[in-house]
Every structure is written in structure tokens, then in C-alpha cells.
Structure 1
Amino acid sequence: MTAPAMVPAITFDEFWNWGAAAEMLPEILTAFVKVTLLVTVVGTVIATIVGLLLAVLTQATPRLVSGPVRWVMDVVRMTPLIVQLMFASFLVPVSWNLMWVGTVVIGLHYATYMAESFIAGIASVDKGQWEASRALSLPQGRTWRAVVLPQALRATLPSLGNWAISMFKDTPYLFAITVLEMVTVAQQAGDRTFRYNEAFTIAGLVFLVASLVTAFAVRRLEKALVY
């Protein structure tokens, strides 16, 4: 009876090579700054502005307007982001920059989620605030700008921060429209060197650090607005 063959142990050098990691790091960080971070920041601005507009339209307009707006929001939320990205890339002219097309699509996609957060924040405003505004004969526009929305924004800030982080983590879907964001660049670096552990570990750590920094900033901003 022969003894079972010994499986050789995997050494640390086989799992991780510092030289390969150092070689990949600048390329991955460049993709992070030029694409992933830029798309996230611009997409968050789009999502916040459009989301706030959608929330106000659903709460302050007649059902003839709010009903279709609600329907569009549901359609956008219930279809995958990657499908929306590909559909948009087929619709736009070939000369358009697909990174910016993807940024707008991601921003509009997350605008529907942020709109729900804004709607919840608007609903959290005490009814006495509305009654006081009517008692003071404030115009509806000023009531929204000066009374309702400032309180709603404070209430929804943590949720908006979470959506921004989710958007950041969804930027790898841009690979579907040939945009070279950070994860795709990491994969290409791994293809060249056959060192995928280093490539995807670096990309994952960048995601982790950026998400933690964003969460910390949102918490600080939340405390500043409350106090």
C-alpha cells in the first residue's frame, strides 16, 4: 500500500509578490482617480439633485404628475443597472464619451433610490411645521425651501451617504460599455503578469479605504448639521 502523496504547501511568495504589487499600484490608482472616483463624485451630484427633484414632484404636485413620475422611478429601480448602461450605450452616437454616458446613467439610476430617501425625510417633518407655515401665510415655494427641505436633508443624510457608497461599488459595471474603470484595469494588470491576487487585493483595498473615508465624512457632516 503506497503512502498518499503529500500536497506541497503554498508559500507566501506564491500567494503575494511585493514587486508585482508595487508595479500594479500606480496604474490601478490612476484608474481609480481618473474614472472610478470621478464617476462616483459626478454621479452622486446628479443623483442628489435629480433625486430631490423627483421627491418634490411626487409630494408637491397633483396625481396627474406624481403618478407618472412614480411609475418611471419604479421602472428604473426594478431594472438592472448593467442593462441600463448597455441600453444607453447603444442609443447614443458613437462619438460620445461612454464614461460620461455611464456617469449620467448611474446618477439617474441612483436618483430613484435617493428620491425615496428624500420622500421619507419629507414625511418625517412634523405636521406642526406645515401648519405653522400656513398660519404665517408663507408661499408654498418658500415653505419647501426654508422649512421642509432643510429638515428633510438632515434626516436623510446617512441614507444618502450609503447610496453614494453603493454607487461607488457599482462603478465596475462600466466594464459592460468598455469603460476602463479600476477593477477592469486591475484585471488587465493580472492578465499581463498572471498575478491576480495582487491586482484584485489592491483594488479591493482601495474600495474599502475610500468607502470608510466616505462613511466617516458623512458621520462628521451629520453631527455638524445636528449640533
Structure 2
Amino acid sequence: MDFDFALAWSILPDLLAGLAVTVRVVLLGFMLAVLIGLGIALAQRSTLRLVRGLCAAYLGFFRSTPLLVQLYALFFALPLAGLSLPAITTGVIGLGLYYGAYIAEAIRGVIDDIPPGQWEAAFALDLDRATVWRRVILPQAYRPLLPVLGNYLIGMFKETPLLAVISIPELFQAAKQVSGMTYHYNEPYTLMALMFVAISVPTSALFGYLERRRHG
């Protein structure tokens, strides 16, 4: 099938609008996921069994159920309980909760890999626990986490077509609407794929640069 460049140019603004929504939802969802992941990873080291149990339940649920099911539950089930959220807010929360569980495990892993001597030396200097986390442990966890966080951020971009099921006008939804109106599928979906590549490649390069800089 021939590629209609004139049509592609004419539908580009609609797809760029969808891309803008995608980028906004993903960045907000990623920030939420990092905050949740850090909070869960720290809470897992709590001395309270109840706190550790709640963390395990959270991780077990969000890592064992598909993101699509979670989005459906947030968007369609919560209103039955009297809590209705805008579609974009639901998408941000859904991505944040889902990826927060995976990021929590990644953070826990890198913290567990920090040599025990680092903890012992910090406490021997009579540093309080908050200072130990802020000045000793988390800075050491930052570098090995970078490539993992980069992969999860790219993964979020690739998951965004699922947001179309809750009516978020993201990139895939925009391409779907354009193809439905024009009856041309090659152009909108090709442009969509190129836009995903245009986001994913620089993102991967950025995290690679940050990791090399930390090594330097």
C-alpha cells in the first residue's frame, strides 16, 4: 500500500496532540511510580509486621494482575463506590500504582546489595536513621537504579495504548480516530510508531548518559 505523504502531513497535528497527552500522562505517572516505589521499598524494612504485610499485599496484587484490569477497576468500579475520577487522573494513578510495585522491588534490590559495612560505618558516626538514608544509602542506590528506571519509563510509553480503553485521548486513540475518519490506516499508525521511537530512543540515550556521568 502506498504511503500518502499529503494525508500524513494533514493528520500530523491530531497525532501530535495525542502525543502531548501521552507524554503528560507518562511523566506524571512515572513520578508517582517512583514516589510509591521508594515509599514501599523503605516501608518493607519496617520493624512492624503489619507494615511489611501491607507492602507484600500491595506488591502481590499489582504485580500479579494486568494493568488493563487495574485501569478498568479504577475507571469503572470506583464510581460504583461513589468515587469518580477524570480519565487522565485515572491513567496517571493507574500507571503510578502498577509501575510503583515494580520500581519498589528494584529499589529494594539495590538497597539490599549495599554492603553492610556502609550501614555500620554510618551508625558508628552517630548519624540518625533519616540522615543515613539521605546521605549514605540512597545516593549509592541511585546509580544502579538509573538503567532500571529508564527501562520502566520506556515501558510506560509502550503501555499507553491501554489508556484508550478509559477514553484518554492519547497517541494510540488519536491514530485510531484518524484512521476511522479517513479509512487510511497505514499513515496514522506509521506516524504513531515513529513518534514512539522518537520518544523511546532519546529517553534511553538520556538515561545512558546519566549513568555514564555518575560513573565518571
Short-chain TM bin: over 0.9
2:71 equivalent in structure 1:
85
Q: Are 2:186 and 1:186 aligned? A: no
Q: Are 2:186 and 1:200 aligned? A: no
Partner amino acid for 2:197? L
1:73 equivalent in structure 2:
59
Compared with structure 1, are the counterparts of its residues 137 and 95 closer, same or farther at alpha carbon in structure 2 (3 Å cutoff)? Answer: closer
2:15 equivalent in structure 1:
28
2:164 equivalent in structure 1:
175
Counterpart-to-counterpart distance in 2, 1:28 and 1:120: 39
Q: Are 2:203 and 1:217 aligned? A: no
Note the C-alpha offset of 1:61.
3.6
Q: 2:27 aligns with which of 41, 56, 60?
A: 41
**C-alpha RMSD of the superposition:** 1.4
Q: Which has the higher contact order (CA 8 A, sep 6+)?
A: 2
Compared with structure 1, are the counterparts of its residues 95 and 117 closer, same or farther at alpha carbon in structure 2 (3 Å cutoff)? Answer: closer
Counterpart-to-counterpart distance in 2, 1:71 and 1:139: 30
1:110 equivalent in structure 2:
99
Compared with structure 1, are the counterparts of its residues 57 and 87 closer, same or farther at alpha carbon in structure 2 (3 Å cutoff)? Answer: same
Note the C-alpha offset of 1:63.
2.9
How many residues get paired?
A: 213
Instruction: Report the structure number with the largest CA radius of gyration.
Output: 1
Note the C-alpha offset of 1:87.
0.7
Partner amino acid for 1:116? E
Q: Is the 8 A contact 2:71 2:91 kept in 1?
A: yes
Gaps of 5+ in 2: none
Post-superposition CA distance 1:105-159 (Å, at most 9, x none): 1111100011111011101211110110121121112111111111112111110
Runs (4+) of structure 1 exceeding 6 A deviation are none
Counterpart-to-counterpart distance in 1, 2:128 and 2:215: 26
Counterpart-to-counterpart distance in 2, 1:20 and 1:139: 63
Q: Are 2:2 and 1:18 aligned? A: no
Partner amino acid for 1:29? L
Note the C-alpha offset of 1:94.
7.8
Gaps of 5+ in 1: 1-13
Counterpart-to-counterpart distance in 2, 1:226 and 1:19: 47
Q: 1:153 aligns with which of 136, 142, 157?
A: 142
Percentage of identical aligned residues = 37
Partner amino acid for 2:11? M
